[in-house]
Structure 1
Amino acid sequence: MEDQAAAFGRYISDAARAVGYDIDSPRGGARKALAEATGMSPSSVGRTLSGKSVPDRSVFRSLAAALELSTEDLLRVAGTLGGPAPAPPPERPLTITDAARRLGIREARNVAAFEVLVAALQRSEADGSDGSAQAV
């Protein structure tokens, strides 16, 4: 039987991927972003994702918010609250604002500039143009 920390780690890892955290990247940016979003230390996030430990219950509310889960779901998976553990939410489309946040772009003016740039790139892709100058 799988131990509680390993089950919790698998659940949290699946939930993090479902909401767009690229926790498998060797660069570790998503793990750092998850740590910042939850108030956990990067090493605590790493131990949790690898199934080595269940974090202190004091971070469950912020962890649930970052992963778009309920605190009750996390308590169930951790074995603190009775009832069956729910399945992680299905992967949802990444919004431009979410992408900016996950890339570390947080200032409102920078997020707005990022949104304008992405919209221009999307229009360019839809038009089929590659952005290079055409000879006349």
Structure 2
Amino acid sequence: MNDPSPERFGRYVTEAARAAGYDIDSPRGGGRKALAEAARMSAASVSRMLAGKTVVQAESLRPLAAALDVPYEDLLKVAGLLGGPAPEPPEERPLTPAVAARRLGIRASEHVAAFEVLVAALQRAERE
């Protein structure tokens, strides 16, 4: 198993949160609050985690992985609960309608397709 360094865990989660589109650097804390809600954690726990003060409890890792859109196994490795090399944080990636749909809990392929059509129509309307 890996050494569960709170600092390393905090760095990984911070970079993963930024890559997932959470504005965690905002002085108003909106991105931290959004991450806390998506990961089903308290805002205080998220702040401590991002600051490298603590590694979250194992039961919080699955919802956190879903909120960050990273593999659950990667968080287990970074938290020191699973052997193997600790992964690098994901790089920032664009938010596509399909990713947004998944994050919103829209899973059925026909619903994702409808969501993509709606987003495209709204984007066209914004450009006009």
CA distance in 1, matches of 2:45, 2:22: 16
Does the alignment pair 1:73 with 2:78? no
CA deviation profile, 1:20-63 (whole Å, cap 9, x unmatched): 11100001111111111111000000000000001111110000
CA distance in 1, matches of 2:89, 2:4: 18
Please give the residue correspondences for 1:77-116 in structure 2 after superposition, counting only pairs within 5 Å: 77-95=78-96, 98=100, 115=119
Unaligned runs of 5+ in 2: 105-114
> 106, 114, 124: which one pairs with 1:119?
124
- Shift of the 57–3 alpha-carbon distance from structure 1 to 2, 3 Å rule, reads closer
Asked if structure 1 preserves the Cα contact closer than 8 Å seen for 2:4 and 2:81, the reply is no
Please give the residue correspondences for 1:44-63 in structure 2 after superposition, counting only pairs within 5 Å: 44-63=45-64
Matched residue type, 2:63: S
Query: What is aligned with 1:36?
Result: 37
Query: What is aligned with 1:132?
Result: none
Q: Which has the larger radius of gyration?
A: 1
Please provide the CA RMSD for this pair. Answer: 2.6
Unaligned runs of 5+ in 1: 103-110, 125-136
Q: Which segments of structure 1 move beyond 4 Å, counting only runs of 4 or more?
A: 114-118
Number of equivalent positions: 111
Name the SS for the 1:94 alignment partner. coil
TM-score by length of 1: 0.71
Query: What is aligned with 1:18?
Result: 19
Identity percentage of aligned residues: 58
Matched residue type, 2:29: G
- Shift of the 118–26 alpha-carbon distance from structure 1 to 2, 3 Å rule, reads farther
